[in-house]
Amino acid sequence: MKTLFDQVSYECSKLVTTSYSTSFSLAVKMLAPAIRKDIYNIYGFVRFADEIVDSFHDYDKKTLFERFENDLENALSDKISMNPILNSFQDTVHKYQIDRELIDAFMKSMRMDLTKKVYTTEEEYKEYIYGSADVVGLMCLQVFVNADKEKYNDLKDAAMALGSAFQKVNFLRDLKADYDDLERTYFPNTNFDHLDEESKRRIVEEIEADFQKGYEGITKLPMEARFGVYTAYRYYHKLLHKLKKTPPLEIKNRRIRVPNYQKFGLLARSYVNYRLNLL
């Protein structure tokens, strides 16, 4: 029986989520139990791919990524993998009929991080955002709507906007690490050697527009998913608010974060709004 191995695989994906992201794992806990494990399975997959291109500096990243890509292909075709993260991911992919195009777009953006350092045009920037963030939101959306194509198409644009907002907040928060350690710059037409308030304002306004569109979709999500996604929205919106108030030079020199006590405060207020139908 494969049941025990599948359970172990799921527990591995859950462990990856809770180990790498306290804020995201907190939001996942607010989802209905019926869909919670599948979001862990998606996050475990995207986290491991991202770790290869971002963190394993003492190893041959290209070789590691190609092996991971081959293992992914086999997992999806064979419906099993001895890599527990890929085994749990393939299970969710088949269960909810997650579009292969979304997976391929994600892997393409991750592959870009192996060689590409600077995004100079809007087209390059949007392509990377789509593959690294929007499609992850769409994978989760297919779980949230239980593979209902009509609901999926109705909420697709909002899910992409919310994924974009989350990713752009991450870019702004991680500006120092991306620029100093990885030599990457994602926002086009921005001089990060001399980041000024005007440049930051343009970035923040772009993110705020994404958040507004994404919020409209949250209000239409099934009840099983709404509170969890709203919790993540509130956290990232709070982080953007802090970045908005932080001088550009400080953003360049340190990683801005939301303290744990504020995260739990956001959770409490989110729950009140949810229970009072204020979303």
SS (HEC) of 47-73: HHHHHHHHHCCCCCHHHHHHHHHHHHH
Mean pLDDT lowest among 88-92, 98-102, 185-189, 202-206: 185-189
The string of pLDDT tens digits covering residues 231-264 is: 999 999 999 999 999 888 888 778 877 666 565 5
Instruction: Indicate the angle between helix axes 84-96 and 61-78, nearest 10 degrees.
Output: 50
The string of pLDDT tens digits covering residues 161-214 is: 999 999 999 998 888 888 777 888 888 877 777 778 888 899 999 999 999 999
Between 82 and 265, where is the model more confident? 82
* Predicted structure pTM score: 0.90
> Torsions phi, psi of 118, nearest 5?
-125, 130
What average pLDDT is seen over the chain? 90
DSSP type of residue 192: G
> Torsions phi, psi of 185, nearest 5?
-135, 125
Q: Where are the domains of the chain?
A: 3-275
Q: Which residues contact 159 (CB under 8 A, 6 or more apart)?
A: 134, 137, 138, 140, 141, 214, 217
The string of pLDDT tens digits covering residues 109-137 is: 999 999 988 888 899 999 999 999 999 99
**What is the CATH architecture assignment of 3-275?**
Orthogonal Bundle (1.10)
On the question of pLDDT at 78 being above 70, the answer is: yes
Which pLDDT does position 184 carry in this prediction? 84
Rounded (5°) CA angle 3-143-12? 40
